[in-house]
């Protein structure tokens, strides 16, 4: 591996999925201004995620859509006739 290209400031960080409130602790060099008190009583930097493996349909097997800008509704309205034909 090349020297000097990897960050050397790895530390424990909590990543929290905001769609289902699941959190996990791992090592990362990502910066954060927020902190959270973890299960072990220590305080760690907090990184908020919109989607993770606990809420993504590929991993959960459930069709749960996370839509913040109405894009899914626009798509469904635009292709409604095609989707209805395919369902019959």
pLDDT at 73: 75
Domain boundaries of the chain, sorted by first residue: 11-87
Tell me how far apart the alpha carbons of residues 1 and 26 are, in angstroms, rounded to a whole number: 23
- Measured between alpha carbons, how far is 6 from 24 in angstroms, rounded to an integer? 23
Per-residue pLDDT, averaged over 57-71, amounts to 65
Structure confidence by residue, pLDDT tens digits, 54-63: 877 676 777 6
pTM: 0.62
Give Cβ neighbours of residue 27 (< 8 Å, ≥ 6 apart).
10, 11, 12, 13
pLDDT digits (tens, 9 = 90+) for 5-41: 888 889 999 999 988 888 999 999 999 999 999 999 9
């Amino acid at each position: 591996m090349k020297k000097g290209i990897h960050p050397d400031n790895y530390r424990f960080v909590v990543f929290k999925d905001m769609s289902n409130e699941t959190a996990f602790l791992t090592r990362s060099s990502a910066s954060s201004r927020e902190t959270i008190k973890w299960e072990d009583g220590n305080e760690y930097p907090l990184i908020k995620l919109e989607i993770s493996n606990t809420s993504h349909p590929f991993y959960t097997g459930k069709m749960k859509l996370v839509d913040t800008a109405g894009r899914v509704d626009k798509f469904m309205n635009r292709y409604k006739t095609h989707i209805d034909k395919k369902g019959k």
